[in-house]
Amino acid sequence: MSTHTERPLSLTAPSGIDRAAHHRLDEAWLAAAWSHPTTRVFVVSGGQVLIDDTPDGGTGIVMTPAFEAPVTETHRYFLGTDEDGVRYFALQKDSLPGRMDQSARPAGLREAGLLLNPRDAGLMVHAVALENWQRMHRFCSRCGERTVVAAAGHIRRCPGCGAEHYPRTDPAVIMLVTDEQDRALLGRQVHWPEGRFSTLAGFVEPGESIEQSVVREVWEEAGVRIGEVEYVASQPWPFPYSLMLGFNARAVSSEITVDGEEIQEARWFSREDYRAAIEAGEVLPPSGISIAARLVELWYGQPLPKGPSAV
């Protein structure tokens, strides 16, 4: 198995942001932080933020001082502070604000995550994850009462029964399966475009270890038995609120029987087969932002080949 690990995994690089969770319940501190002239604020809406080109040739989130930020009564989320003491907040709104200069553009994580520096990518992941959770969990699961935002966006409290609800993260396993010939097992989901092949994946079920989940998911989706399972890395994946747990797994059987419900097709690829299929345009690699791309790249041993349209 290759150990090609030079390129950092998208959305996981150290952001330099201290989340400073101990301040989330301190309303006086939060009010002072909001009023500070160095505080920076950005809007998140529908999983998108405004991004813009920066003077250094990069791309950054469009941020404003707090006094220029749109008004919101409740959906103001404290994200943390950087090493210079700058505080960062996100505002959840129904739409992104317009820009007078017309140079900014809305972007979701799949696009922005490949462009932003680690600080801005970390802030965006945090904000998008909170927004997704807030939009999906507005009512108490215990009594049905509408809940209210607390702890600077990190708790929803029920005024009816007093229950506190915390942001949800669903663990999911994603695995690069290889056989005794070191071929990779890649599959195409039913709703994917023709030729899109990636690693197998699935959610961890109640009462199940993550290793057990790897074995079960590969068997259910492809009919392949798994022996050794090795953890590789994790990646936040707020679509809407998952944590992807990446693995290498060694197959002890090779016959493929897809389930036909989630996986339409699955194939074993040697490195030579995989390169030739991509270069011929017959196979599309996984998205560059995803841990799936990194798992395949680790197996392949170098950056993934480009298709004919990218040459």
Tokens of 161: 């029964």
- Can you say how many angstroms the Cα of residue 16 is from the centroid of all Cα atoms in its chain? 18
Question: What CA–CA distance (Å, rounded) separates 174 from 201?
Answer: 4
**Predicted local distance difference test score (pLDDT) of residue 81:** 98
The CA radius of gyration of the chain, in Å to the nearest whole number, is 22
Total residue count of the chain as it appears in this document: 311
- Can you say how many angstroms the Cα of residue 302 is from the centroid of all Cα atoms in its chain? 23
- Can you say how many angstroms the Cα of residue 241 is from the centroid of all Cα atoms in its chain? 8
Question: What CA–CA distance (Å, rounded) separates 195 from 199?
Answer: 13
Q: How big is the CA angle at 13 (ends 302 and 1), to the nearest 5 degrees?
A: 30
**Predicted local distance difference test score (pLDDT) of residue 183:** 98
pLDDT tens for the chain, 311 residues long, are 334 445 678 889 899 999 999 999 999 999 999 999 999 999 999 999 999 999 999 999 999 999 999 887 679 999 999 999 999 999 999 999 876 567 899 999 999 999 999 999 999 999 999 999 999 999 999 999 999 999 999 999 999 999 999 999 999 999 999 999 999 999 999 999 999 999 999 999 999 999 999 999 999 999 999 999 999 999 999 999 999 999 999 999 999 999 999 999 999 999 999 999 999 999 999 988 999 999 999 999 999 988 786 54
**Predicted local distance difference test score (pLDDT) of residue 99:** 63
How many CB atoms are located within 10 Å of the residue 201 CB?
A: 27
Give the three-state DSSP class for 304: coil
**What are residue 105's DSSP bridge partners?**
51
